[in-house]
Amino acid sequence: MADKLWLFSAKVYCTLTYGSCSVNTNTVTLTVNTCTHEKYTNEGKCQQCGEPCSKDVLFIRNGIPYTFEGDNPEVGFILFSGGTAYFVRDTDATLKAGNGDTADKRDVALDLQGHRVKALDLQNFPYKSVTIKNGTINDIATSAPTVLILDSVKTDQEVFSTYFTLTVKGNCVFEQLVKFHGKTQLQGGTFQDGIRVEPGEQALALLADGYAFADAKDNAILNVSDVSIQGRNVKVVEHTCQYQNGKCVCGRSCDHAGKVDSAGYCTFCHALVEAFEISGKQYTSLETALEAAKDGDTITLRGPLSIENVEPIEISKNITLDLKGFTLSKSAENALLCILGSNVAIINGKVQSTCTSKPAIAVEVGKFDHTGAKLTLDNVTLEGNVDGAGVRGRGLFIRTGNEAVVTSGTFTGGIYTEGTLSMSGGSADQLELGALDDIQVTLSGGSFNSIKIENGAA
């Protein structure tokens, strides 16, 4: 044939004779393929004629078919260094490195093309790196430091030794609870029974930059600083960290070291690090500022800040906290601030509880075992939270033997007092007087949606 020189064809017919009778058959065209099949496509078809390779061919490398299994599939074959082997069928053989020469290390790739390989024994690892992709492999062994890349591979291997420097990417699936002992960078993969690793730094160290662990069912990002991924179906997904107070929902945190600008913000995570100031000197927390403060000092908030203290921050020195129009908030259950000083003021901003688990107070004056505290409030908003049941906490809570003076402000969630309250301005959702006798309340201004008196207050 003119355009396919490896094909020869001829028209033939037969004459059938029986006795004195003869008959000619119809003419048919007979074609003979003389192609030598010098090179094959990666899918195992001849590049010239398109015929598939023989059934014993295992993979194609540089267009050449390789068999190498011989009569005993358990023996396997030597995996030569360099290039990509494209597999065209499954095998129960163990692929072997053959303890080759390590002087000329090259990259090698095994593209399984949807096929299954029983095992890979890399022995003394005479390669620069080995990439396995697009198929199933049950076990990978090595006896020397090994650079291994798994890309969209399914495996039931449970342990990767310290020899492995491993990269996992694409749609890899690990069917068993797996343990990575060597350096590992996860850029993808699903771990159906999780990873044997402790929460915190160990779990985060497995992730490549720009990735996070997520629940495999609902795709929710997991905070692996707090949540275990052992025995849990998880996957690795692309993730851009968004930091709140130096922490991201994925569990990463920023130490801010060497990254704080003149305004007090981290240039990496954008958290307000040096949030408080006294006479030009900056402090990283209200506690450290209070420790340095002297009676009569003003502590200034430099930007909006959410704190995570479990217990209230106690202000026992006679200082002014100037919020400068910003919001100081907290999501934990207890009050954000507890006033113990005898002449404390909070001015110009908002103190807010954002707790969702139960009604929480924004600011409390005094404690059960402390009296004599006095708080002056001017141009502030104290906002109690709304919990999951829709119940709101108090904005201000004044305990017995303590005092608050309000000149202006808003008290979302209301004011509850067992102590002394003087109010010349501002507004509150409710003013509630406790059940104790002789609660002193002086109102020369301000407004309330309601007033509730428990027991004979005057």
User: What's the pLDDT tens digit per position in 97-121?
Assistant: 766 666 678 899 999 999 999 999 9
| Cα distance from N-terminal residue to C-terminal residue, the chain | 116
Residue 208 in this model has a pLDDT that exceeds 60: yes
Contact in structure between 85 and 113 (CB atoms under 8 Å): no
Residues whose CB falls within 8 Å of the CB of residue 338, separated by 6 or more in sequence, listed in order: 312, 313, 314, 315, 363, 364, 365, 366, 367
Contact in structure between 430 and 449 (CB atoms under 8 Å): yes
Most confidently modeled range among 68-82, 94-108, 264-278, 369-383: 369-383
pLDDT on residue 3: 64
Contact in structure between 348 and 325 (CB atoms under 8 Å): yes
What is the C-alpha R_g of the chain? 38
What is d(CA 255, CA 258) in angstroms, rounded to the nearest whole number?
A: 9
What is d(CA 283, CA 141) in angstroms, rounded to the nearest whole number?
A: 53
Whole-number average pLDDT of the chain: 89
Average pLDDT over residues 308-336: 94
Q: Confidence class of residue 199 from pLDDT cuts 50, 70 and 90?
A: very high
Tens-digit pLDDT profile for residues 223-273: 999 999 999 999 999 999 988 878 899 999 988 888 899 888 999 888 888
Q: Confidence class of residue 359 from pLDDT cuts 50, 70 and 90?
A: confident
Contact in structure between 381 and 347 (CB atoms under 8 Å): no
pLDDT on residue 78: 62
Residue 61 in this model has a pLDDT that exceeds 60: yes
pLDDT on residue 279: 96
Backbone angles phi, psi at 160, to 5 degrees: -115, 120
Residue 5 in this model has a pLDDT that exceeds 50: yes
pLDDT on residue 458: 44
pLDDT on residue 262: 87
Contact in structure between 81 and 61 (CB atoms under 8 Å): no
Q: Confidence class of residue 457 from pLDDT cuts 50, 70 and 90?
A: very low
